[in-house]
Structure 1
Amino acid sequence: MNKHLVGAAGALALVLGASAASAQTSAVIVTQPSGYVTVTPEQQVQIQRYVVQRPVTATTVLPRGFAPVAGAVMPADVELQTFSTDAAYGGFDAPSYRYVVMPDNQTVLVEPGSRRIIEVIR
């Protein structure tokens, strides 16, 4: 009987170990493409404060169905705004990036060379 109990315990440990391993791999959630900059919540507040204090006069018109998400490419006809070099952004190098204020007041950070969206601040 002891042999059966040890065998059952070993099988249970094997099943639980496999479940834990699969749970670890399935729990990984990627929110941004690799290689993209992460903007901390504190930096987002600083950036949003900067954007709100400097209203943009241009109207952003997006193609029908375009959704601004990290990794997407901002359409070429959308005007990108620049950050001032004399403002503080909580350690984020904002002047290296551009931004777009969306019609719903979201701020979209864009890498200027590729026009890829790096962050959407709500």
Structure 2
Amino acid sequence: MSVRGRFELDYDQLPIIFEAQFGNQNVYIGLNYNESGQFFTADLYDSDFQPVVMGERLVYGKRLWRRLVDPEVPKIDLVPLDEANKETAITKDNFGKTVFLYQDTLILSDEEEANG
């Protein structure tokens, strides 16, 4: 079981766009693969599907949009990673198999929540 909020997506169907809600902020996120550069990118759209950030490169273990201070960018940590810590990079072979896009907020079990 994942200890972080994992986006359950069909990574084999890139490019994809999905809706996400963070608190009271709805956004759309697009994931793409750059075949010539062999890397993944993410696009961020607001709730009206207007572009906010386009072509942000996904870096293993690094928060998306980490260099931006913009009220349109969700204040949430979205990170591509492997919770088993076996991978060190995001590749076409491992994205959606061992590396996933996570909301980097730990999810506590019912017992952990009860114990505070």
Give the shorter-chain TM-score range: under 0.3
TM-score, reference length from structure 1: 0.25
Larger radius of gyration between Structure 1 and Structure 2: 1
Question: With structure 2 as the length reference, what TM-score do the two structures score?
Answer: 0.26
Structure with the higher fraction of residues in helix conformation: 1
